[in-house]
Each structure stands twice: as C-alpha cells, then as structure tokens.
A and B are shown apart, each in its own frame.
Chain A
Amino acid sequence: MTTKLFGEPVQRREDPRLLTGNGRYLDDLGREALAAAFVRSPHAHARVRDIDVTAALDVEGLVAVYTWEDLPERVGRALPLLIPHPALTHGRTAYPLARDVVRHVGEPVVMVVAADRYAAEDACALIEVDYEPLKPVVGLEEAVQGAQLVHEDVPGNVGAHLVQEVAAADGRGAREAIETAPHTLAFRLDIERSASMPLEGRGVYARWDGRDLRVYSSTQTSTSVRMAVAAALGLPLPQVEVIAPDVGGGFGVKIVHPWPEEVLVPWAAMTLGREVKWTEDRREHFISSAHERGQVQYVRVGFDDDGRVLGLDVTILHDHGAYTPYGIIVPIVTSTQLLGPYKPGSYRVEFTAVYTNTVQVTPYRGAGRPQGVFCMERTMDKIARYLGKDRTQVREANFIRPEEFPYDQKMTFQDGRPLIYDSGNYPEMLRMIKELIGWDSFEAGPGRGIGIGCYVEGTGVGPYEGGHVQITSDGRVHVSTGLTSQGQGHETAFAQIAATELGVPIERVSVVTGDTRRFGYAVGTFASRAAVVSGNAIALACRKVREKALRIAADALEANPADLEIADGVVHVAGTPSAAVPLSTVAVLANPLRYAFDEETAKATQFAGAAAPDRPPVAEGEEPGLEGRDYYSPIRSTFAAGMHAAIVETDPDTAEIKVVRYAVVHDCGRLINPMIVEGQIHGGVAQGIGGALYERMVYDQHGQLVNASFMDFLMPYATEIPHVETGHLETPSPLNPLGVKGAGEAGVIPVSAVIASALEDAEGIEVNRMPISPSELFELRAARMG
C-alpha cells in the first residue's frame, strides 16, 4: 500500500484554518444574534426572597428578562442526573435558574437577553435580588460534620457512599491482612481543587426557524446535548441539530451537559423568534462551570520485608460541590485506578462523597486518577523509605508481570464493567524510564532530588462510537463521526486511518466531528476514548466501503475481488497495474443515475450501458452509493500505562521549586500519529505541573472563590514548564482491530506524585499534600526544624 499513513507524524490538517484566524469558535458565530447574560448569586448559600427587575427595564437594547418563574414547567425542571449509580443515594442537580435557594456563588438566578453583551450586562447590574443568606458549608471537614446542610433533604451532606473490597487469595479482607502484616503504615494525603480551565470558555448559540432548532455549543458531546435539549424543550429529536464548532479546549469540563445555558439559550431563541448567543466570560467559568481534584484520602497499608503490599485500605472523602450532575465518576475512578500497575494482596476502598456550597465537581483531565496515583505512589515511596529500599525496587516487587495479562483486578470500573487490564509491560517500562532519567547514576544532594510515578489508565470506554465513510464521484472521501474535537487533531488522525484503510491519498480525505447533521449517534469525547472508539469505528466503516469498492471494481474489471488492491485511490489487479479503475469511477458505478452533472456521472446514467438490462440497477441487498457505516463497541476499556520521572531543585532560602528535568515513558498501544500523541503528553504534563505547584481554587469561609481570575489562579506560562523528554513503548491492545489505547489524559495523571516524590528526595521531608507552593515548602522545612 503506497498510502500507509497510520503511525506517521503527519502534519495536522486543521492547522491552516486555525493559523490564519479562520477557525470558527462559538463566539465567532452569530454576529447578528442577541446576547444573553446572567445575574449570578453572590452568595454561597441563600434563599432568594424577591427579584426586582424594574430598574433594568429602561436599559436601551433590553429584549427580555427571565427568572425561574417565567420558565415553562418542562424548561424549569431540575437538570438531569447524567450518570445515576446505586451508591449515589442522594443525587441532586441544579435548576436552570435558581428556584428558591442558591447553593454556590455563581449559580444563575436571572437571564437577560439584549441587543449586545454590553447592554445585557448593564441590565444585569440593575436587577435587584433580595437574598436571605444561609450558613454555607465550605470544605470537607465542615461538610462531614453535617451541622449545616447544603440540601435540606440530604442528611449529613452525604450524596454517596461506596465500599469495594477485593479479598486476598486466602479469603481474608484487607483490614485483616494489614493487622497481621510484618509492617504497617498509616497516613493522610490531600489534593486540592483545580479545574480544566480551557482558554475558551463555554458558549451556546441557537437559531430557531419556526420549525427546526439549530444549536451550536462549545461542548464535548453534541449528540447528547441534542437529546437533552430536545427533551427539555419538548421538541421531536429530528427537529433539533447540535453542532460543536471549533472548540478552544475542553479537558473534561465541557462533557457536562446540558448546562443551564444550553437549555435556556435555545429556549429564549424559540420564545423570542430571534437568534440568541451566550459566551461565557472568565469569571463565569471560574464560578459557574465545574472544578475537580479536591479529595482527602486516608491510607493504611500492610507489607512484607520486600515491600510487597499485603493489604491496602483507603478511605476517601470526596467534595462534590453543590450538585452531582455527573454522578460519582470521579471517586469511582480514583478507587479503581489507584491500583495502577500493581497487585496488592488485598484491597479495600471506601469513599464518601459530600456536598459543599461550592462549584460542582465533575471530571477534569485525569478524572480522579491523579488523586489515586498520588495515593498509591506516595504509598510506594513511604514503604521504600521505611524499609530503606530503592523506590523503584519496591514498585517492581508489586508489579503485575507481563505474563499475567489479561489481569483481573476483580473490581468494577467506571463503565460498570470488570476492571481487567488487557496488556502491558511494566518492568520494561520501568527499565526505560530509569534509563531515560538516569535513575541509577543520580546523586541526590541537599536541594536536589529525583522522583518517580507510575500509572495505569483505563481508556476508550464504551458504550460505542460510529463512523460513516462516503466516497463521492470526484474521488473524495468524506468521513464523519459523532464525537467532538477540542484540539486533539482528530481531523488528522482519523484521516490517517481512512487513508490507510482505503488506500487513498490523505489530501482526498476530509473528516467531520461533532455535527449531528452528519452523524447522529455518539457518546462524546472524554476518558481518552476518541482514537480508540471512533478510530476503530472509522476503520471498520472503511473496511466495509473497501469491500464494496472491490466488489464493484471486480465486476467492472472482470476480476476476482480477492486479486484487487487499492493504491493512490485506484483499484487495480495485483501485479497488473493497467487493469485498473479509480475509486471515483467505482463511486459512479455504485450509484446508478438518471441525471448527469458532469462526464463522470454521465457514465452512470441509464443509457450509458453500465448496468446489465436483466438485473435491477441496484441489486438486491445492495444500497446505492459507495459508502458505509459501522460502529465499534468495546467489550471493556483498554489500559494504557506510563511512568514519569523528574529531577527537582529547591532554593535553600526562598524554597522556590524548579523542575529541571522531566521524563515520560508512555504506552498507548499502537500510535496513530506520534507527533500528536507527544503533543498530548506535553500538554498533560504542563497541566500536571500546574496542579502540583501552582493551581488551586481558594475558597474563604463564606464560600467566596477568592482567586477567580487568571491573575490569581496561577496557570503556568512557558517559564514554568520544563522540557519533557519522552520514550514510547508499544504494547498493542488485543481488544480492538487497530490495537490502540487512549492517550489524551495520560500526561497529567502522575505529575503530582512525581513532584512529591522528587521533593521528598531533595528535602528529606514528607510531602503529603499537593499542590505545594514555596511558602508551604518553607513551612514544612520550619516544622522539621521544630
């Protein structure tokens, strides 16, 4: 095949438009649309007594003002709980606009529609809401006490509680195994809140033409937004289309849906008969989208003289914020993915998810894994320290061996399916990372340390994705899939798959994602699943089209389909390049025509003599057109893995922390485009560094987010991010036709663990809480000195 592009660092096909200002992000659309803005609660917890809009009514350009009471019953219903779970006994979601009680600063209370955003915000400023402040619940400790309630009908603020236990081979539980283990340790580990923080916020733009509704949303799932909007507005599904235009980053937060604005903006467009658009500003993104990471974890571990874990008992307190629209995916992921590449003798994990009067918590890249990995890797380091062993030795003693795959961790994963690792080679990966960073030759000194962190990531979760592939009579290949893109280069990676499968030049392939007009069935882009699930679906759809093309070409060439191959867009008899027919012609032959538009199509018309007169033009069981559709529905997730190592230096006086080297060895099965995969890793590591050293959401005791701007929430610039050295290991997944595993989240997952490990090495103090700032390091030093 001349067109083997799978595995090549092909330059991105989305770049030309994005480099010239021709991308189309949400706020670039709908220049004529009315603008929406929201009055949001300034209180973390309050009863709404009265809303007085009179002063706003004189604002020039004002079109409409809506409170919850103005919404029709169906539109005003509580937003859906997207992922119910039996352990989530007290799931609660918000109303599109506050109904009686607000439960976090930033909750929308009034919607204003005006000629432009300036006028809409003027009107918002003049609306008087009379609040009766209620005592807010802020922080896990306060939530657990349950003295104050976030939701009156949720006792103790507990939304969910779940215990999972994997007994030892002899049937003993983890707690028992720990009691009788030669050595035990117990400690508490904290991770603070952070957030996805894409540079483009959320946004919705809706057009209603009297019959059909078209919604554009900066979302990670257009198909599901479509269903949610249709349901909320009572519209038949075929009358609603949802399109994700170019999206300026997602990292998890944009998988949540429907946002209040995704219901309200389309509803306003229908009600007013005008186009309406809302573009989130940065402060809104901080206080009214979603956060993640905040968790407290108590660990007890029992181990033997080699550092082998005999029993591991983890108790997790998870802060859900005010609502649980995305269920309890984050603590479930922490609970299961905490195990990493290891096989503890027995394991018990319990989590309690509580409500607080803060922004809701939903997955952010890594989705609970960074916390779990922090737990497990800190545990490994502590065991090594206790036994006086090398940290990599203790890890190795606990690894699942290459010959043990598929390895059943005997738990239930976030997709409701068994946690069975499909493939991997952890000892080899450890060897590679040690070599890459120079582990064995490293000499720690005061203020200089090395750290390591390992993880396993379940990627490519189901239920399914689909792909549609059509070859038109101009020889072009049109690929579509329902899931969305936020910078992952799907237009390139999926085109590589199609070009390789079909034997066509990549220039002829175009890819559309996230447009329900093109593909209506999909789940969405999250959990490092796009390449795995859509990638395989597209490959399968291409195989169908290829088979049909060969069948039709075989007829035309009077050859056996088995003797045909496709190269450069031309079907030919293997070994006889002259016996050939281009795919463009095959596409013509696949679609018998009555009308001609050009020379190519003329060949398919009824007097052109292409079809046998004694057979129907479209044979029984056939369909016109050279196209195919197929789906890939994985039996369960495929498990990627990675190991990171870093060298840090700390300043003896200022306690400034500098990451001087950062190395990654990564295994995501077969690589579709190594350039894109590396880019994903770089970006993930940068977010991880942000989470380890700089980023946190700071709430005061009143529930005010005091650092809700880029001025005070410290996302790293180029000056803070080290150069990342990467190595790849490829253990193909046996679960899917392409042998791929997901790569999107990988980079971020172990970074806090790695930095903590390196800091401990440099400073000789225990690091049990991340992120860590220079002043916190300074305090840890001071505490050690006593």
Chain B
Amino acid sequence: MEHEITLIVNGVPRRTGVPARRLLSDCLRHDLGLTGTHVGCEHGVCGCCTVLLDGRPVRSCLTFAVTVDGAEITTVEGLADADGGLSAVQRAFAECHGLQCGFCTPGFLCTVTALLRENPAPTEDEVIDGISGNLCRCTGYQNIVKAVHRAAELLAEEA
C-alpha cells in the first residue's frame, strides 16, 4: 500500500506516494531524483546519507519516508545560497581540500552545517567530536577538520 506524503525539501513542497518501508534515503534519491544524498552502508554507521530534518542532522537510511510526512528537509542540493553561490561550508571544503572522491562529502556538509549553526566557534575537540559520526575513506579527516575551522572563520567574517 502506498502512502501519500509531502516533504518540504530544500524549501520546495514535494508530494509523493511511498510504501511504508521506503527509506527516506531511497525516497530522496529515487522518488524525488535528489541523488546528492549518498548511501554508504544502509545501516546507520557511515553518515553518508545525513540530511537535515527540521534543521537537525539525521541518517536518512535509518528513517522511513512515511514517518517524516510534513517535515522540512535540507539535502546537499539545498546548501548553496539561493543564487547558487556555494555556502561557507562548501567553500571551506574546496579551499582546504576536504574531499577526494566526494562520496562522503554530502553527509559531512550537512553535519557540519548543523554543527556550526549550533556552535559557531568550535574548538579542535568539538570539531572532531562533531564529525565523529561520519566515515571518510579517502581524506584521513585532517583536511575536513581544517575545513570546519575555516568554515567557522568564513561564517564569522560574513556575519
């Protein structure tokens, strides 16, 4: 049986029918065509599938789409400014070489966006702690940590 749901994705209301078992990650990727959200494990460990649900990072592979009917969701596609300019977090990742293959990147970007909203000037330990739920197999994290600090700097400059 299909359930009609409405998700406000990146500010746009999207209606779709989903079976109860449809994962939010699959719904975003395959029903709504927003393939920027990636799936690295489908069991809640890697963080690739992280999206913002009403502003808070969640693992979309552990969320049934039907349970978030009516919610506001931000995916990596919604992080850039309205005019398409990259967000401070996105720019910092580019500047600091915080990505290689880019597969984990959308999850990190969403996580870090929420992290800096909550804590605009995190310490080194707070940064490491803040990203400690996301796996990256390419970068060794060093440049991701650097990018988070840099993003905080950019955000402060632009505030």
Q: When chains A and B are docked, how far (Å) is the Cα of A515 from the Cα of B80?
A: 29
In the complex, chain B residues 33-61 whose Cβ is within 8 Å of any chain A Cβ: 33-43, 45-46, 48
Q: Which of B42, B97, B106, B134 contacts A21 (CB 8 A)?
A: B106
A728 contacts the other chain (CB 8 A): no
Q: Which of B35, B39, B140 contacts A683 (CB 8 A)?
A: B140
**Complex contact A22–B36 (CB within 8 A):** yes
B119 contacts the other chain (CB 8 A): no
Q: When chains A and B are docked, how far (Å) is the Cα of A678 from the Cα of B132?
A: 22
B94 to A: closest C-beta gap in Å:
4
B112 to A: closest C-beta gap in Å:
11
**Complex contact B37–A199 (CB within 8 A):** no
**Complex contact B101–A721 (CB within 8 A):** no
**Complex contact A14–B140 (CB within 8 A):** no
With A31-B30, A199-B104, A249-B103 as known contacts, state yes or no: A719 contacts B140, CB within 8 Å.
Answer: no
**Complex contact B36–A21 (CB within 8 A):** yes
Chain A residues whose C-beta falls within 8 Å of the C-beta of B143 in the assembled complex:
679, 682
The size of the chain A interface, using a CB distance under 8 A, is 56
Q: When chains A and B are docked, how far (Å) is the Cα of A723 from the Cα of B21?
A: 42
B11 to A: closest C-beta gap in Å:
15
With A20-B36, A199-B48, A709-B45 as known contacts, state yes or no: A118 contacts B21, CB within 8 Å.
Answer: yes
Segment at the B interface, from A233-241, A485-493, A760-768: A485-493
**Complex contact A21–B101 (CB within 8 A):** no
Chain A residues whose C-beta falls within 8 Å of the C-beta of B134 in the assembled complex:
717-718
Chain B residues whose C-beta falls within 8 Å of the C-beta of A281 in the assembled complex:
42
Q: When chains A and B are docked, how far (Å) is the Cα of A20 from the Cα of B33?
A: 14
Chain B residues whose C-beta falls within 8 Å of the C-beta of A679 in the assembled complex:
97, 100, 138-140, 143
B71 to A: closest C-beta gap in Å:
19
B129 nearest CB neighbor, chain A only = A719
A661 contacts the other chain (CB 8 A): no
**Complex contact A199–B101 (CB within 8 A):** yes
**Complex contact A248–B101 (CB within 8 A):** yes
**Complex contact B94–A15 (CB within 8 A):** yes
B29 contacts the other chain (CB 8 A): yes
A272 contacts the other chain (CB 8 A): no
Q: When chains A and B are docked, how far (Å) is the Cα of A649 from the Cα of B53?
A: 40
B145 contacts the other chain (CB 8 A): yes
**Complex contact B141–A718 (CB within 8 A):** yes
**Complex contact B105–A19 (CB within 8 A):** yes
A247 contacts the other chain (CB 8 A): yes
**Complex contact A721–B142 (CB within 8 A):** yes
Q: When chains A and B are docked, how far (Å) is the Cα of A20 from the Cα of B34?
A: 11
Chain A residues whose C-beta falls within 8 Å of the C-beta of B90 in the assembled complex:
19-20
**Complex contact B86–A249 (CB within 8 A):** no
In the complex, chain A residues 221-247 whose Cβ is within 8 Å of any chain B Cβ: 246-247
A12 contacts the other chain (CB 8 A): yes
Q: When chains A and B are docked, how far (Å) is the Cα of A348 from the Cα of B102?
A: 44
**Complex contact B141–A200 (CB within 8 A):** no
B95 contacts the other chain (CB 8 A): yes
Chain A residues whose C-beta falls within 8 Å of the C-beta of B80 in the assembled complex:
20
**Complex contact B38–A248 (CB within 8 A):** yes
With A16-B86, A27-B29 as known contacts, state yes or no: A21 contacts B93, CB within 8 Å.
Answer: no
Which of B39, B46, B97, B132 counts the most A-chain CB atoms under 10 A from its CB? B97
In the complex, chain B residues 72-122 whose Cβ is within 8 Å of any chain A Cβ: 75-77, 79-80, 86, 90, 93-95, 97, 99-106, 109
Chain B residues whose C-beta falls within 8 Å of the C-beta of A20 in the assembled complex:
36, 76-77, 79-80, 86, 90
**Complex contact A199–B45 (CB within 8 A):** no
8 contacts between A and B (CB under 8 A): A15-B93, A27-B29, A281-B42, A282-B40, A683-B138, A710-B135, A711-B43, A717-B132
| Residue positions of A touching B, CB distance < 8 A | 11-12, 14-16, 18-25, 27-28, 31, 116, 118, 197-200, 246-249, 251, 281-282, 486-489, 675-676, 678-687, 709-711, 715, 717-719, 721, 723-724, 747
| Ranked 5 nearest A-B pairs via Cβ | A21-B36, A248-B103, A487-B101, A18-B102, A682-B140
